[in-house]
Structure 1
């Protein structure tokens, strides 16, 4: 199995105090951890890429911790999450799909209440490509206040033979959310949806 070769990591933190209306009791914080890795399958079609998913598990756990640390070190404050990948142009979209399991389960394992599926997006792009990573509530996908996205990117990545892997965590729903629907205090936590 190929070894995971990390060229660089990046952590970004955004703190939102208001969106033009009254300030909430606590600002929303959104953290993203990005790891730029060598794509072992770039440049050729390889039928069996599945083993690399297992190799990515330790990196997923490390990146989940990076997000939690960026939000203050307390996993209990995490209310939203998402994941994504940008594959360099010598790779294929399926190489980014390898991140689904190791990235998603790393966050779910790091957060107590996390029954909801982790939303995801991926694309193939050149260095500097930006990605809007979708976010939903960690324990109930139908909580509308937490439907969000965090834009990420690295100026010099991914290079053609790289993949930029992304995890995102948030501490709250959108500031000034007011479109109705299920709220976080109504979550039953039984099925990952409601």
Structure 2
């Protein structure tokens, strides 16, 4: 199985004080950890690619740890999501290899999460962007935490690369008032409610 070749990484943190309404006393923090790596399968069809998920695991764990620290610590995280953006010489299935390494890394770092980590993936050219879906870490039906973060880098992914993303937030949307299940009412039995 090929090794991991990383070209660059980025860490982005947004502090959101308002969306046109009253200014929050404590801003919502929404952050992304990005890594641009060589796609070892670019330019050809490779039938056996699953082993690359094991190669990606340490990267996912390091990205999750750094992102949690940047947002104030793992105990502050309430929302998460992941995505992969595959360069034009790759295929969508190459991006799917990020599902387990990215998702389990965040779950390991945060600890005790019950909800599935939502995800997105697509093939795109250099400078493409992707919207990373976000849900509550313990109950996917908590409407206040339905969110997304658009991510990308101006020089990635090149044709033979992949851009991998992890996203975390510290709470609900800053002016959440859409009703539904509230975070305080989570039962935590099935990852949904």
TM-score by length of 1: 0.98
Aligned-residue offset at 1:70: 1.4
Residue 15 of structure 2 corresponds to which residue in structure 1? 15
Deviation of the 1:21 alpha carbon: 1.3
Alignment partners' CA distance in 2, 1:142 and 1:112: 19
CA–CA distance in structure 1, aligned partners of residues 28 and 112 of structure 2: 19
- Tell me the number of residue pairs that the alignment of Structure 1 and Structure 2 aligns: 193
1:105 is paired with a residue of what secondary structure? helix
Residue 23 of structure 1 deviates from its aligned partner by 2.4
Provide the secondary structure at the position in 2 that maps to 1:31.
strand
Does residue 141 of structure 2 align to residue 142 of structure 1? yes
Shift in Å at residue 68 of structure 1? 0.8
Query: Could you list the runs of 5+ residues in structure 2 that have no partner in the other structure?
Result: none
Tell me, in whole angstroms, the C-alpha distance in 2 between the residues paired with 1:20 and 1:98. Answer: 39
**CA offset at residue 112 of structure 1?**
2.5
Shift of 1:130: 0.6
Structure-2 separation of matches of 1:135 and 1:187: 17
Q: Distance in 1 between matches of 2:56 and 2:111?
A: 22
Structure 1 gaps of 5+ residues are: none
Aligned to 2:150: 151
Q: Distance in 2 between matches of 1:128 and 1:150?
A: 16
Mapping of 1:1-194 within 5 angstroms?
Answer: 1-72=1-72, 74-194=73-193
Point out 4+ residue stretches in structure 1 off by more than 4 angstroms.
none
Task: Give the 3-state SS of the residue equivalent to 2:75 in structure 1.
Answer: helix
Q: CA RMSD in A?
A: 0.8
